[in-house]
Structure 1
């Protein structure tokens, strides 16, 4: 080589020396940082991947912390709900205690004081439970989001709502069936007139007989032709037998008719069947029965889902409830059925009493079971009815009927319970009277307030208390007898002297007219089955030769005849859910739904409104508390699910972070062994390149010899 302008060997040596320097620098950097990628130049794509992974890892690590905070918050809320549940359990225990009939009103007041304090504690817990100053149980913790991922996608967000657990928000959501009517039924005339007749012949009228005053030429003012009347006494006023809901609302019914006993206003006896849609006669007017069940499909929209229940004609409340409960798993709504009624005897100015009451009782039994009990109503006991014997007789057959009776503390009314929702049916109802019977009117609104008419005779007439007569004709029209009408049935009322008898149509008030032989009229009274001719009204039993025909019904002993009536108390179905729900019937246009119109919205029976002051209110509180416990349990379940989910979230995120870090390390971390080899190699090559560069530079010195 004789050229000196370009030292090729030196250039090559320099090039390799520079490369060795770069490799040495990289090896030193990687070995010192432990990273394979220290800048984008090392691996642009790898650097981008590593950067995204770094963001993902840091986001997931924060999400793990968020999930841990969510667990802590849920633990605080769930711990408070445990106390809420304990309080509700204590309230329920007190409710069961107060529902026992052995407790007096004062006892229940004491129990209710603790109930009120427990309500206050529930309110305090709901208002003060918080996490990092955030209230948890007062209803303001709504749709709170927890970020449990590394980006904004919905899958990385958990939303939590905790319901209000104050007493005003806890309870049970209910929709009640509306097989009920608020009509007040009465089977007696509001007012009436009486006519007194004294005759001198033997008559066989008996207490409780029915007479009809028929047409004639001399009507008696105030008495209605064709109207039935029963014997009464002036001292006997109205005695009421009634059945109502225990809480004061109307009993449920299908078809209604009415009958009753009493000589004044207010006597009433509810009757019901479950067929047809008739009108119901009542004091003061008419009320239509509009909710007679035929066949209905109820679509229930619950918090779980929707489903249709088929309700068939003639179903009892329990059968309807069973139809709803069969689809509870699909709707989240369950039904409870119960049938309750209250028996009350409410006398007013009573001078006599009922000795016995008897009726056939049906509940879950299909064959009649006779109930016969003593019912004392009269001045001997202050005008109050003593119903303990009736209570005992009903409870004595409760194993067969499913109906229990509970006597009030003052023993004046009985509450009937059919907890399984069977219809309570009372048939062949009879309560005879030991002295004077009350008037019974076939017309609800019939009313008359007129005069009394008296016929005086020379001897005892022989009519019996309670006999019923009908004036069929008047053969002598002179001196019209005021207060009597033809073709009208009258009840005989006899005086202690047995010289007069009274034909009563209502209250025994008014004037009297003495009928003597000079102005007397020949009267014909008729009664079924037995005829007794009274020829005269004087001692020799002649009255101007005009016969008086008397037809008498042979009733045997002197007592009120049996009354055969039928009463059906249909239970109410209550639809329950721990959440708001709706019910849609298939058709309500023909009044065939168990609901009056469209079903009402579900209403919350609140804990704050509950008390244990009565047996019924204590029982209702149990239902409300059960609903509250369901709500609290649901909230605890939600919080428990949240805690479990957050724990699984933490575990999953930790696993993802670990694997992502491993993946990131594979991309970005330096292989220390490899880099050590590279370092050694670059060091040796660097030394060699330096030596060779020196040799290359030295090789040009030989050219100088040519110049010497």
Structure 2
């Protein structure tokens, strides 16, 4: 082997091994001093990431345990206070029972009542002052309490503590409400005009919950033939693109459009270009004309291409696109009967429905694009576009009079119109149209027969129609209020083979501002809005109804955020009786609509014929006062007519055919009236059964975090409100009657307190189990993390000893290796 001095390989090898031994010694010492196997990412990158995630979980679990313990502390604080409230209520009940005894005089009861009043004050004081960590727990201000009992987001346990003061306790069922209120807001993006002039939804036009809705895009709608970016499909797609951030979901509803061909000529067949729907030419090789019965069927043969279905009703075409695409109706103008009716180049867009499980805010530069104002939309609130209807309809026309020269008089737009007819010509709609037009000449009002129904008269004017001061001397009848509702009957003798026995309805007074207070709010009975589809109208129904009271409560500022009022009316017309299966031959007038009943009627309407006819008539009625009513027979065989919206239900029976005239005013509001039955019927030799008017009740339910408190006002007892017993705050046991009523109120209060305490106890027990589980998970996660990141002292001690020995040996060998080249000097001696 050659002897060299420029490269000391032995020294280099010793240095390398010594460096390795030194690194091992440093690592062993680091792990032994820190107690951790992983002290940096270089030690174990994957292990470091895993251990850090476990550390987050463990820390979160440990904090969740502390959170749960805090929740238990809050519950125990509230439960302890409620225990004392229970003792107070038990004492009040004992005093009430004592005061109910006939052996006590008024002085004794006053003494007992004095203690009760002090206990009521203490009940309020406990509710107002009981607190935990600076928060009042029994005054209702906490609302829903969510305890974070997990290491991840939204791992919560929620509970609620209702208001426990004397005004909130004692009302029984309905006093406390809960539940999830889901929002469904109907909005409209409908626009019409020349093709190409429709606006799209631009960026910043609309915001939801502070998030800007992006501009609608043409590419979102692949089915519309034009103005794709302005369609309901594109608008919904733009809103849904940010649903993850807003919580609001949009749906494109069906698009509808109408085309009135009432004035079109039927002489000319549709040619190429005469009628184009969504870019598809409706030219009819078979010679179908603009007004032929087969036009709708012909259009529907192209539905696969257009996405549009057509329905023809008396030359009024209704187009529907179920998927919400635009409907474009175009014409080249060659056929004047189409262009003059506005069928040239018009585009209709659909509607969009917004839904969210949470309250959301509408804003933006131009939110009115979708018919909305900048506002916060709350649960159960509906927003709709307003539509003006400048026409009224007189339906089911037939006036039969035994007197000649009867006059029908009313004011339209300030001008008095008196139409005088004879007994002969008043029986036809044409005659009355002539009489009205003669009398209305120069007023701008015209009457015409509805092409869809020969018994309907349509009154129209430039601008709105204002009908007032209606009167008639027909048959010496008198009209008691502004109306055009005339119930007339042919003098036809019939035999009544089945009968309905009427019963009285519920008392319900006409309510005005100041008559009713709920939770300290004066209920606003004026300017009550009613949402009907997409048309916002004013309530013009009977103010003395449960419907109006419920709507007023739900529209009162402040109060509408605390309670929800629902109204319901049930008219019990008594037992339907028949000796055997008989043929019905009588009529019912229900809320002004005459319903002719025929066919077999059995005892208790066992065949269902009577209920079936009534429900069919209710469903098909065009009257808002009748449509939506439901007839049924209960287990006792009694005929019931129910209105879930609380409208009044007036029913009158006749044993002869009856007809009526009904006028619907501008905006869809019905002008109701009543003809004096006695004088009217006497003139026409008609025998009527007693009329009955049923008026409903209003039920109040508290929204989450609120209660139904004190109900007061001058006409509280006539408001039709069903709120159970009186509140504990109103208890007065200074009389026997008051003491008896107090027992019911206190029992209700005890039930409410017991329910709250039971819920709190259940949550407390649940939290105990939660803490045990969290502690167990934290323990196991800590053990898993330890196995990943903690140092094994036995192994690391051995590694340290080995490294130290190698370090010492390496140092010695390095010294010898460095001295080896000196042996070359012996060769030079």
TM-score (normalizing by structure 1): 0.41
* Larger Rg, first or second structure (1 or 2): 1
TM-score, length of structure 2 as denominator length:
0.35
Identify the structure with bigger relative contact order (alpha carbons < 8 Å, sequence gap 6+): 1
